[in-house]
Every structure is written in structure tokens, then in C-alpha cells.
Amino acid sequence: MRQQPSDDVREFFAEFERAGNDNDIQAVIQQFAEVFLNADPNGAQPVPRAALAAALPQRKALFDSIGLLRTHLTAITETALDEHYVLVDTQWSTELRDPGALSGPLDLTSTFVLRREAGTLRIVFYLNHQDIVARIRAASSPTPEATQGR
């Protein structure tokens, strides 16, 4: 049954949001298991922490290219799966330097499976419900109205 997040899950995602917005790569990767499953509409693959650390600067560059300043957690629910695992559904909004730079909002939805172990939480499964690169490309494309009269 879905419910409001427990204190430890709420704190975990507050740190996840902070670390991502501050580009604190070490803090971000510590929130993931040594190897986790990453999924999006294009498929799923196991990702070692070292590969995540290498990919985070590229993700930041992508977000910088559209003037993304911050992401904000706007909704969170959790479902306890057992004493070790919790499923967490999240929604995120973006704050852009120039809100008119994109043809529409860049709201993101993600699902996580966290593992509780020795008093800590780690991400073992991370699902982006949208292809972020494709969403950014689509939102960055000029609208037909913007290209008329050129």
C-alpha cells in the first residue's frame, strides 16, 4: 500500500535532491548500491558506481545546456516491499534560468527501489519513466509558431 514517506526515506531524498543540485558527485554515488539497475524507456542495464560517477558530469552538461538551475522533488510516496526493500515513486519539477527556453515544462517522474541495510538506504533500482535526452531535445526544438516568419 502506498503511503507518505517515512522519515528516513524523506531525509534520503532531501539529500538526493541537495547532492544533485549541488553537483556533489561523491554524495550522489554514495546513495547508490555498488551496482544498481538503471532503466528508462530504452531498456535496463546494470551500472557500477564508477560508471555513474563518470556519467554525472555529462548529465550536468546536458542540464546546463538548457539552463537548468535546480530540480525540486514535488511528490513522493513509498510502498514497503518487505523489511529490506521499499519502492518509492517520485515526481520532480525543474527550475530553468530562462523558463521560456523550452516549449513546455520539463517535469520528470522516477521510481526507485531502495534497500535498507545497516541503518542506511541505497538505490538498487532507478527507473526514469521518460527518456530525459529525448524530452530535452523535444522541448528545446522551436515550436512551429516560433519558426514562422524566419
Q: Where are the domains positioned within the chain?
A: 7-140
Q: What is the pLDDT of residue 105?
A: 66
- Residue 1 is classified by DSSP as -
SS3 string of 73-118?
EEEEEEEECCCCEEEEEEEEEEEECCHHHCCCCCCEEEEEEEEEEC
- 37-74 pLDDT, tens digit per residue, is 999 999 999 999 999 999 999 989 988 888 888 999 99
Q: What is the pLDDT of residue 1?
A: 67
Query: Average model confidence (pLDDT) for the chain?
Result: 88
The mean per-residue pLDDT over the stretch 106-130 comes to 94
- Determine the CATH number of domain 7-140: 3.10.450.50
The mean per-residue pLDDT over the stretch 67-83 comes to 93
